Amino acid sequence: MKSWTDKLDAGHSVVKPTPRTVGDVVEGQTMLVPTARQVDDFIRSIPAGVKIDVRALRTALAVEHGAEVSCPVYTGYHLRTVAEAAHEALERGMPLSDITPFWRVLDDETPTTKRLTFGTELLKSQRAKEGLD
């Protein structure tokens, strides 16, 4: 079975017409289907002490890659991949300052947070240290 870190570098992104209307994504819009690495790179660019919600992240990713919207399903899946890979890196001994600061996007209200295998203590402590709550 692949580790979360392996999943971080898997796949390739695609920009294509949205096949159907779902939530804030309208059929026919150009949609970015991002990779986990694109989500990771974007989160790494968020400065300390700044938080961004998932919808804003999706919009910024889309604009950055020439699309109108980002796929909500893949973005959510990759947010978990990014957080789990960051936790794996911590377990391997990487300093906290070198991991992807997923807590700048995820919070207690984000559905992805409830699926994290390592709980929410790290997320909560880092959000508190950066004044994000």
Determine the pLDDT at residue 75: 96
d(CA 34, CA 18): 13
Per-residue pLDDT at 1 exceeds 90 = no
Residue 21's φ and ψ, nearest 5 degrees, are -80, 125
- The pLDDT tens digits of the residues spanning 32-56 come to 999 999 999 999 999 999 999 999 9
Counting every residue written for the chain, the total comes to 133
Range of the domain at 75: 4-129
Does the pTM of the predicted model rise above 0.75?
yes
d(CA 100, CA 107): 15
The set of residues, in sequence order, having a beta carbon less than 8 Å from that of 89 and lying 6+ positions away, is 5, 98, 99
The domain that contains 106 carries what CATH number?
1.10.10
- What band does 22 get if pLDDT is binned at 50, 70 and 90? confident
The set of residues, in sequence order, having a beta carbon less than 8 Å from that of 111 and lying 6+ positions away, is 76
Domain count across the chain: 1
